[in-house]
Amino acid sequence: MENLKIVEKIVIFPGKPTERRRIFLSNIDLSLIGYQESVSFFDPPKISFAEACEKLYRALERLFVHYDFFAGRLVPSLEDSQRLEINCNGAGVVVVAAATETKLSQLGELMAPKPEFRQFVEFLRKENEEEIEIQDMPLLFIQLTQLGCGGLAFASRYNHCVLDGVAVREFLANMAALTRSEQMVIIPNPDRTLFKARNPPIIIHPHYEYSKPIIDTHSFNFNPTLHQSSLPNQTHLIYLSPSRIATIKKASLRNCTTFQAVAAKIWKARTLAVETKDIDKISTMLFPVDARKKIVPHVPIGFAGNALIPGFARASVREMREEEDHVFVKKVQEGLERLDDEYVRSSVDWLEVNKGVPCREDSFSLVAWWRLGLEEDEFVWGKIKCTTPVLVKPGLVYLLPGTRDEGGLSICLELPNDQIKEFHRLMMED
C-alpha cells in the first residue's frame, strides 16, 4: 500500500440517548468470540471524499440508535461472572478515514482475499491487543479509504459474537439506506433468549461439530489470534466454471443443489490432498446452517445475533479413497437435514455444559460467501463492486462468486503449494 495515511480517526456514538441495558449472549454467540474483517470496493464516486465521510458519520449516528449494542462493550454477566454479555453503554464505534496512492487497477483481482487488503484495516487494530481486557475493546471498527484513482474501500472489523452473516447483511443494508438519507430497511431485534440453554441441559446427540476448548474459558483478555495459525500458507483461488459445476453435479445425486455437490467435492479433494498417510483418520467438514426457521418458535424477522449453526459431514480417509462422490453428497445432505429444533436445542445445551468452539480436530469450515448477497447494497457514494474477506484464516474455505462476466464460483483457501496442486487436480478430476 503506497503512502497509506490517516485522514481522521473518530469515535461515533448513537445520535440520540439510548437505554442502558444488558444483552444476553447465547452459547452460539459465545462460541464465536473473535474478530471478522471484510472489505468492499467502489468505483470513484460523484461526491467528494470529505462528503462521503460526513454522510457515513451521520448515517452511523442514526444507525447506532437502533444498533446500540454494537456501540457497547463485552462485560461479565451480572448473573454469571464466568459468562459474557453486551453492556449497551454507548461507548461508541471507532471509525477511520484514510487515503492511499494505490489505485483499484493495481490491486488486481478484487474478488478474493490477499495480503494487500490487510492495509484497509491497518488503522483498526490496536497495539498489544492480546493484553487488552475484552471489555475495553470496541465491538466494531470501520475504515473508509480513498484510493489514488478516487475509488473507495470500505472495510469493517467486528466481533463475530454480535452478528452472523445474515444479520451483517441486514446491518449493511440499513447503513447503506441511511447514507442515502432514507429510512431503516429493517429494525434489528438483538434478543437471543430464544437460544437459551435448557435447565437442566438435555444433550441427546454427540455433536461432532464442536470441540471442547483448549484455552482458559474463564479469562476475559482479548485474543485477536483466536482460531489463527502463526504460520499462514499462501492463499489460493481456484475457479469453477458453470460447465465444471454442471459436471460435478451430474456425477452426484440426481436431487442435489449446487452447494451440496460442490461442497462434497471440496471436502473429498481437500481431505485427500492434506491427509495421505493415516487412512483411518476421520475428516470433518463444517458448513453454517441458518437455524432461524429451524427452531420453534421461529426467530423473529430482523434477528440481530448468531443463528448460523455448524452443520457437519464426517468420513474416514479410507472412505474418501474408496467411495464414489455421490456418497459424500448424501453425507452433506444429512448434515443439513439433521438440524431440526431438537438438534439445535441439544447443541446449545452441549455448549452450556462444555463451553466449546466449532470443531478443530482434522476439520475445516466451508463458508458459502456467495450466498450472503453482500454486493447488493448501494451507498450514497455508489454501488458495491465486490465484497471479500480481508484474509483467509487457516481451517476456512470460502466459496466466492465467480467473475461477473463468466459466472461460476471460486474456491478460496490456504494450503501449502504441494497440497494445493493435488487439491486442484482432484477438483478437476471426473
Could you read off the pLDDT of 363-380 as tens digits, one per residue?
999 999 988 887 889 999
**Burial tier of 191 (Cβ tally within 10 Å: 0-12, 13-18, 19+):** middle
pLDDT classification of 1: cutoffs 50, 70, 90: low
The crossing angle, in degrees rounded to 10, of helices 49-66 and 165-179 is 120
Task: Return the SS3 of 282.
Answer: strand
How do residues 286-303 score in pLDDT, each as one tens digit? 999 999 999 999 999 999
Distance of alpha carbon 314 from alpha carbon 297, whole angstroms? 30
Distance of CA 177 to the CA centre of its chain: 22
Task: Pick the closest to residue 11 from 197, 162, 141, 205 (CA basis).
Answer: 141
pLDDT classification of 126: cutoffs 50, 70, 90: confident
Do 27 and 201 form a contact (C-beta atoms < 8 A)? no
- Give the C-alpha distances (Å, rounded to integers) separating 251 from 241, 267, 271, 323, 423: 16, 15, 19, 13, 18
For residue 274, what is its C-alpha cell?
492434506
Distance of alpha carbon 343 from alpha carbon 207, whole angstroms? 9
Helix boundaries (H) for 6-73:
27-30, 49-66
Please identify, among 176, 195, 214, the residue that sits at the C-terminal boundary of a domain. Answer: 195
pLDDT for the residue 109: 86
Name the domain count of the chain: 2
How do residues 28-70 score in pLDDT, each as one tens digit? 999 999 999 999 999 999 999 999 999 999 999 999 999 999 9
pLDDT for the residue 218: 41
CA-only gyration radius of the chain, Å: 22
Task: Return the SS3 of 86.
Answer: strand
* pTM for this entry: 0.93
Task: Return the SS3 of 103.
Answer: coil
Mean of pLDDT values over 259-276: 94
- 183 & 230 share domain: no
Question: Which range of residues forms the domain containing residue 154?
Answer: 5-195
pLDDT classification of 220: cutoffs 50, 70, 90: low
Mean of pLDDT values over 112-130: 85
For residue 23, what is its C-alpha cell?
444483552
Computed over every residue of the chain, the mean pLDDT equals: 92
pLDDT for the residue 2: 66
Bond from prior residue into 200 cis (ω within 30 degrees of 0): yes
- 291 & 379 share domain: yes
Mean of pLDDT values over 229-258: 84
- 244 & 390 share domain: yes
- 19 & 147 share domain: yes
- 186 & 302 share domain: no
- Is 60 exceeded by the pLDDT of residue 228? no
| 213, part of any domain | no
**Per mean pLDDT, which range of 6-20, 136-150, 362-376 is the poorest?**
362-376
Backbone angles phi, psi at 152, to 5 degrees: -125, 150
Q: Which residue has the higher pLDDT, 28 or 404?
A: 28
Neighbours of 254 (CB within 10 A): 7
- 129 & 242 share domain: no
- 28 & 134 share domain: yes
Q: β-strands 282-290, 363-367: how paired?
A: parallel
pLDDT classification of 112: cutoffs 50, 70, 90: confident
Mean of pLDDT values over 222-248: 73
